């Protein structure tokens, strides 16, 4: 099973890409193209954004701007990203497959896909992240993750607010190249705790009640609440009960680490 398409189009601008996308409901924007292959779906035109300069990471005083075509490898190696939250966000992305895979996969594709197993989304979700979509939309990463249906726009940039704090990331997996059985991303930024848990097997979500409890300094209770407030299910390689037990352990460990 592989991707099928009739045409390949190298866009000359975002406007050009957007117009091409709107021409036919079977046209598709390609990021790295890795997951597109696995879908085995049939498209009319593949639209490539490679020539639009979206492979840059820039910063100003308050924000980091990550172009949607930045590869996961360039993201994890970026000195700008490595300065962020003691390098843990870069570490989370580094957990995805090997470097030859991450040289292809893009930040934009990873976010757009809203994959339940995504380490990228889990790593970024506890941060203040906005997603800029061409032509004229901006939404928080959390809103995008929870958005149901097809996005009307092209992901242009991921905008990360720079904040002081510490982060913890844990991917539980059976082998080095495996999808996560569950992943945890816990961040203390500007004095507040944020807890994201992914691959439950649902896409990463914030545990709001647990976050409130953590802000009171009750980390054990927060870990217990996190294991109750989000939905955990069985998968072929891990039971619901084991996911819940892991949540209690790693949320507590993460909260202690980021609040030391």
Partner 1 sequence: MKLRFYLNNVEVEYEIQPDEYLAQVLRRNGVLSIRIGCDESACGSCTVLVDDKPVLSCGLLAAKVEGKHVTTVEGIQEEANRLADYFGDEGADQCSFCSVGFALIVHALRKEYKNPTDEQIKDYIVGNICRCTGYQSQFKAIKAYLKEAK
Closest alpha carbon to 183 in 126, 100, 250, 130 = 250
- The end-to-end CA distance of the chain, in Å, is 49
Rule CB under 8 A: is residue 40 a binding residue for partner 1?
A: no
Q: d(Cα 210, Cα 16) in Å, to the nearest integer?
A: 45
Rounded Cα distance between 248 and 234, Å, is 17
Could you tell me the CA-to-CA distances from 139 to 2, 103, 163 in Å, in that order?
32, 27, 19
Nearer to partner 1, 94 or 243 (CB): 94
Task: Report residue 152 as tokens.
Answer: 């009307």
Q: Which residues partner with 195 through β-bridges? A: 186
Does the protein bind partner 1 through residue 244 (CB under 8 A)?
no
Residue 83: count other Cβ atoms within 10 Å of its Cβ: 14
* 16, 20, 39, 48: which one binds partner 1 (CB under 8 A): 48
Contacts for 16 with CB less than 8 Å, ≥ 6 apart: none
| Residue 2 vs 136, nearer CB to partner 1 | 2
Q: Which of 55, 83, 97, 139 binds partner 1 (CB under 8 A)?
A: 97
Work out whether 172 is an interface residue with partner 1 (CB under 8 A): no
If one asks whether residue 176 binds partner 1 (CB under 8 A), the answer comes out as yes
By CB under 8 A, tell whether 26 contacts partner 1.
Answer: no
CB 52, min distance to partner 1, A: 13
Q: Which is nearer to partner 1, 45 or 188 (CB)?
A: 45
Shortest Å, Cβ 118 to partner 1:
16
Q: What gap in Å lies between CA 181 and CA 240, rounded to an integer?
A: 10
Annotate each residue in 1-20 with x if it binds partner 1 (CB under 8 A) or - if it does not, as one string. Answer: -xxxxxxx-x----------
Work out how close the CB of 98 gets to partner 1 at its nearest, in angstroms, rounded to a whole number: 2
Region from 99-107, 116-124, 181-189, 242-250 binding partner 1, contact rule CB under 8 A? 99-107
Site for partner 1 in 188-207 (CB under 8 A): none
Strand, helix or coil at 5? strand
Among 25, 99, 135, 217, binds partner 1 (CB under 8 A): 99
Encoded tokens for 121: 């989304």
**Angle, to 10 degrees, between the axis of helix 219-229 and the axis of helix 240-258?**
150
Give the CA angle between residues 205, 208, 211 to the nearest 5°. Answer: 115
- Binding-site member from 12, 19, 24, 50 for partner 1 (CB under 8 A): 50
Sole window of 100-108, 120-128, 132-140, 232-240 interacting with partner 1 (rule: CB under 8 A): 100-108
Applying CB under 8 A, the residues found at the interface with partner 1 are 2-8, 10, 30, 32-34, 37-38, 43, 45-46, 48, 50, 73, 94, 97-101, 103-104, 176-177
């Amino acid at each position: 099973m592989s991707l099928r398409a009739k045409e390949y189009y190298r866009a000359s601008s975002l406007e050009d890409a957007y117009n091409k996308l709107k021409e036919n409901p079977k046209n598709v924007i390609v990021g790295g193209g890795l997951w597109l292959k696995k879908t085995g779906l049939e498209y009319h035109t593949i639209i490539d954004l490679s020539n639009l300069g979206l492979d840059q990471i820039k910063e100003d005083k308050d924000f980091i701007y990550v172009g949607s075509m930045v590869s996961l490898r360039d993201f994890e190696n970026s000195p700008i990203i490595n300065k962020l939250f003691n390098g843990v966000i870069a570490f989370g992305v580094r957990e995805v497959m090997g470097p030859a895979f991450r040289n292809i996969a893009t930040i934009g594709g990873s976010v757009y896909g809203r994959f339940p197993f995504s380490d990228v989304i889990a790593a970024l979700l506890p941060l203040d992240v906005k997603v800029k979509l061409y032509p004229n939309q901006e939404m928080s990463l959390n809103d995008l993750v929870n958005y149901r249906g097809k996005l009307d726009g092209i992901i242009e940039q991921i905008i990360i607010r720079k904040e002081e704090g510490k982060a913890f990331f844990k991917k539980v997996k059976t082998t080095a190249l495996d999808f996560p059985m569950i992943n945890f991303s816990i961040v203390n930024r500007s004095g507040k705790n944020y807890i994201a848990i992914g691959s439950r097997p649902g896409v990463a979500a914030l545990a709001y009640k647990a976050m409130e409890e953590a802000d009171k300094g009750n980390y054990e209770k927060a870990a217990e609440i996190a294991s109750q407030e989000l939905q955990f299910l069985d998968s072929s390689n891990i039971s619901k009960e084991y996911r819940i037990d892991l949540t209690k352990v790693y949320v507590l460990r993460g909260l202690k680490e980021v609040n030391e």
